[in-house]
A and B are shown apart, each in its own frame.
Chain A
Amino acid sequence: MTVNIIGLARDLYKGLPTTLCAGCGHNSITNHLIKALFDYGVEPHLLAKMSGIGCSSKTPAYFVDQAHGFNGVHGRMPSAATGAKLANRDLVVLGISGDGDTASIGLGQYAHMIRRNLDCVYLVENNGVYGLTKGQFSATADLGSTLKNGTVNEFAMIDVCGLAIELGATFVARSFSGDGKQLVPLLEAAIAHRGTAILDIISPCVTFNDHVGSTKSYAYVKEHELVANMPDYIRPREEITVDYEPGTVQTIELENGSHVLLRKIDAGYDATSRIGAMQAIHAARGNGEFLTGLLFVDPAVPDLCAKERMTATPLKDLGEADLRIGREEWSKLFT
């Protein structure tokens, strides 16, 4: 039996059977996530699977059955994730959201989670459509795209990656649900990142948004996708640096001592430049293309728990002796 670096079988990373539509991009993401969590060796009991409401938000039930899951209210998962991490900073917080849950109803909490640099992985399973309520536009739908019934989107799209970079995000990546080769290493890098790791995953809705007028259909994306860089995530305990030619590889050291190696397609791309990332995103968008890969990373910014100078002990484990004012100090309060 194959086991991972903490000696667990891959089956332990599986969940309940999916109830999403057959062929849904979200199911592909779930499978890649299972591989990434297994490969990384995340302890199932330390994983906190957080989500809001929508098709994407159902997916935490479909992987790592042993972990605790929290399917909250629409657009408010970041706040619940923040509370959970503050209560127990040992948790690996994995938030799964969709484009409506993030960019429409949840835009405020998305922005403030990023501002605080909450240590979590935040996936946007982005299909530009409300699937669960049967096919209305979300705020990530491209200007000019059409619904199945012919309605044309008249409003500018919100680019959750561009927005995240503007808000000070410390890890921003974009990928495609059908591209496991790119997505799995990005997921592992996101888990290793100490801070908010935003992963916008274009995930076609086969039922409501995979038709000719959509800009997030399989056919459209396959044709227009640009691959900016190819990250290979390597854990330090493995010490594998495999076959990356010097000069084509960029190494970024994460706070926990691990590294992300970036292979640049475009020799000029620098994932440590916030302005460069914004330009690249805008340039790609200008050509009607998706720029994928690790778009921006800054591992040096402290996460929320560090900024708050929280004790290493999970707050949930503190007792009366740690938390109450001492008797002597107490009586001084009333003199």
Chain B
Amino acid sequence: MQRVINDFTIRVATVNGSGSQSSNLVLTNAIFSLGVPVAPKNVFPSNIEGLPTWFDVRVTARGYQCRTRDIDLLVGLNAATWRSDVASVKPGGAIVHEATYPIGGDTQRDDVTYYAVPFNELAKASFSDGTLRKYLLNMIYVGVLAELLGLDEATIEAAIAKQFKSKPKAVTTNMDAARVGFAYAREHLSKRDPFAIERMSGKTEGLLFMDGNRAAALGSVMGGCTVVAWYPITPSSSLCENFIALAEKYRVDKTTGEKNVAIVQAEDELAAIGMVLGAGWAGARAMTSTSGPGLSLMAEWAGYGYYAEIPAVIFDVQRAGPSTGLPTRTMQADIGFAYHLSHGDTKHIVLLPATVNDAYEMAMDAFDLADRFQTPVFVLSDLDLGMNSWITAPLAYPEKPFDRGKVLRADDLAKLDTWGRYRDIDGDGIAYRTLPGTNNPNAGYFTRGTGHDEQARYSELPDVWQRGLDRLNKKHETARTAVPKPAIDESGNAIALLAYGTTHHAIVEARDVLHADGIDVDYLRLKALPFAPEVASFIARHERVYVVEQNRDGQLYALLRAELPDHLVSRVRSIRHYNGVPIDAHAIIDPFLAAEREPAVVAE
């Protein structure tokens, strides 16, 4: 049997609320501590207790961070999903399962290895405390797996110590449970599968795990955000919760207890965005974080912010929609809505983070862009980026000062005879603003969502209205060269892929697989809307460009076709993935190869 080293995927199938999360993290960290890259994906239900949940740990020597559909090693601890879990294992795989689960019919496969472990019995025999038992059972499978995969007790112990750092008693109890697993596997299981983990180097040194929501919270702190207004919603809540924890540590004067921050849990998302706009208008850097349903509620204020020209930062950690949808699953289906959020002619700056580092950097960018362009800026993360752990380098300390944009202060006004809030002095579509509290008789103006002229006076005149919309459009055009530029990886191939956000990670693997088959494709990773000029020129250099995204309607594909010059429109194709779990390489490769076999047929 050919050994498979550091390149396989473990799926742990459990019941939500059983406390398997820390066991899964211990397993993930233990493997990572040996220098082996891992990509953990938590596929969990919208439920506190009782529904099925899966945790995939992709062990990947090549460092792929995307999900894979190939499950090699199953830990079956949920009777309710036992049949389908067995079916999910790849031929040649192995299944560690609760010994009492039936094997027969569908669950009787001759192409996988079974390891029956009496988990419940072992837990019962080892732990007298009934409440702890259910939870510690999960640590037993960590021990079993570790023994089967060649991880030693010291490695697991170190990972447990890291997980429960401030609780020495928890470290002991959990390690005891893991040892039960180690011992059982040593005495009762003989290794019959090919999977093994071996220490390696060159891939993980200096790196760490972080989720995108924490990175965005760190970016908000370092970006100078002082006002946060939010309404809890999965999967965005942990972004503001991380911000709160950071603010409690770093924004409180140690001696006086006074805070350099204000955080309000609002009554709903309408109030959250209203507070953010009120704060932005008065000169603070303010943000809210939300997900699809909350974004829908923010629509009216978003248009107000666009038209009255007020800075705001809105994080949308996308989940599967429409409607309440799948609150704990991922999609990229808000991009079309976010770009045009609100009625009337409205279009926004939208940033598209793909990595933890992006989530951090783009959070800071968002505050600068919001101030520079005096407009709401949307950061479209998703559940996969926001809530899963990713391998990342330490985040770099920011060296740039804040860009507070065009603000006239009292001494600036003293040098001017007049000024107009909505007058385009510089020809870039961006006017100058004053903040309330500016001590100059000319500072005040009336901010309104109704029609207004360059002096912010109410106006219904046709030419004034049209002039205002045209200037806002000019501002949007200026933004094209100010937003983060696309990342282009190009070597003269005729065919290219174009993607954004977390789809990136599946693109990386898909390109490697295609390359191994002799097919090389170029790649543009879009980082923001409006489209930078580099996007059209990239498409112009290729015969066919496949836009890959995680929504049903090809939303970015549609935005692109609407803006591209006519002669380029037919070069763009669409690949879509929208089942709620993160996209994998085959969701790109299969439709790509199918379309390439019939290049004359435009994929739609």
Interface residues of A (CB under 8 A from B): 44-46, 48, 50, 60-61, 64-73, 76, 78-88, 90-91, 108-109, 111-112, 116, 304-305, 308-312, 314-320, 322-325, 327, 329-331, 333-334
Q: Is B251 an interface residue (CB 8 A)?
A: yes
Among B258, B274, B441, which residue has its beta carbon within 8 angstroms of that of A309?
B258
Among A82, A309, A319, A330, which residue has its beta carbon within 8 angstroms of that of B397?
A330
Contact between B437 and A314 (Cβ–Cβ < 8 Å)?
Answer: yes
Q: Given A72-B274, A83-B282, A91-B282, are A312 and B258 also a contact pair (CB < 8 Å)? A: yes
Query: Would you give the 0/1 interface string for B423-467, flagging 1 where the beta carbon is closer than 8 Å to chain A?
Result: 000000000001111111111111111100000001000000000
> A333: which B residues are within 8 A, CB to CB?
218, 394-395
Q: Given A65-B444, A68-B445, A80-B275, are A86 and B284 also a contact pair (CB < 8 Å)? A: yes
Contact between B279 and A323 (Cβ–Cβ < 8 Å)?
Answer: no
> B224: which A residues are within 8 A, CB to CB?
318-320, 323-324
Q: Is B75 an interface residue (CB 8 A)?
A: no
Contact between B208 and A316 (Cβ–Cβ < 8 Å)?
Answer: no
Q: Given A82-B264, A311-B258, are A87 and B446 also a contact pair (CB < 8 Å)? A: no
CA distance A72 to B308 in the complex (A): 9
Q: Is B270 an interface residue (CB 8 A)?
A: yes
> A330: which B residues are within 8 A, CB to CB?
397
**How many A-B contacts if CB must be within 8 Å?**
215
Contact between B278 and A79 (Cβ–Cβ < 8 Å)?
Answer: yes
Q: Is B512 an interface residue (CB 8 A)?
A: no
Task: List residues of B (274-291) whose CB comes within 8 Å of A's CBs.
Answer: 274-284, 286
Among B250, B438, B443, which residue has its beta carbon within 8 angstroms of that of A329?
B250
Q: Given A80-B278, A88-B437, are A71 and B446 also a contact pair (CB < 8 Å)? A: yes
Among B251, B261, B436, B440, which residue has its beta carbon within 8 angstroms of that of A88?
B436
> A319: which B residues are within 8 A, CB to CB?
224, 402
Q: Given A45-B439, A108-B267, are A71 and B283 also a contact pair (CB < 8 Å)? A: no
Q: Given A108-B271, A315-B284, are A86 and B450 also a contact pair (CB < 8 Å)? A: no
Task: List residues of B (469-497) whose CB comes within 8 Å of A's CBs.
Answer: none
Contact between A315 and B264 (Cβ–Cβ < 8 Å)?
Answer: no
Q: Is B259 an interface residue (CB 8 A)?
A: yes
CA distance A327 to B396 in the complex (A): 10
Contact between B444 and A67 (Cβ–Cβ < 8 Å)?
Answer: yes
> A76: which B residues are within 8 A, CB to CB?
270-271, 274, 300-301
> A69: which B residues are within 8 A, CB to CB?
444-448
Can you identify 19 A-B contacts, CB atoms within 8 angstroms? Answer: A44-B441, A46-B436, A46-B437, A67-B436, A69-B447, A70-B281, A78-B271, A83-B227, A83-B274, A84-B282, A86-B279, A87-B283, A91-B282, A316-B283, A319-B402, A320-B402, A331-B394, A333-B394, A333-B395
Q: Given A91-B437, A308-B259, A315-B262, are A325 and B222 also a contact pair (CB < 8 Å)? A: yes
Contact between A45 and B438 (Cβ–Cβ < 8 Å)?
Answer: yes
Contact between A66 and B444 (Cβ–Cβ < 8 Å)?
Answer: yes
From residue A62, how far is it (CB to closest CB) to chain B in Å? Answer: 11
Other than the given A78-B271, A304-B264, 17 more pairs (CB < 8 A) read: A64-B444, A68-B445, A70-B278, A71-B447, A72-B277, A76-B300, A82-B278, A83-B282, A84-B436, A86-B227, A86-B278, A87-B278, A88-B282, A316-B435, A323-B226, A325-B250, A334-B394
Q: Given A68-B445, A71-B449, are A80 and B281 also a contact pair (CB < 8 Å)? A: yes
CA distance A139 to B277 in the complex (A): 27
Closest 4 CB pairs of A and B: A83-B278, A79-B274, A316-B283, A87-B284
Q: Given A76-B271, A316-B284, are A70 and B266 also a contact pair (CB < 8 Å)? A: no
From residue A229, how far is it (CB to closest CB) to chain B in Å? Answer: 33
User: Which partner residue on chain A sits nearest B284 by CB separation?
Assistant: A87
Contact between B229 and A83 (Cβ–Cβ < 8 Å)?
Answer: yes
Contact between B282 and A61 (Cβ–Cβ < 8 Å)?
Answer: no
Contact between A81 and B397 (Cβ–Cβ < 8 Å)?
Answer: no
CA distance A334 to B393 in the complex (A): 9
Among B208, B221, B395, B441, which residue has its beta carbon within 8 angstroms of that of A323?
B221
Q: Is B344 an interface residue (CB 8 A)?
A: no
From residue B256, how far is it (CB to closest CB) to chain A in Å? Answer: 8
Q: Given A79-B266, A84-B279, A108-B267, are A68 and B257 also a contact pair (CB < 8 Å)? A: no
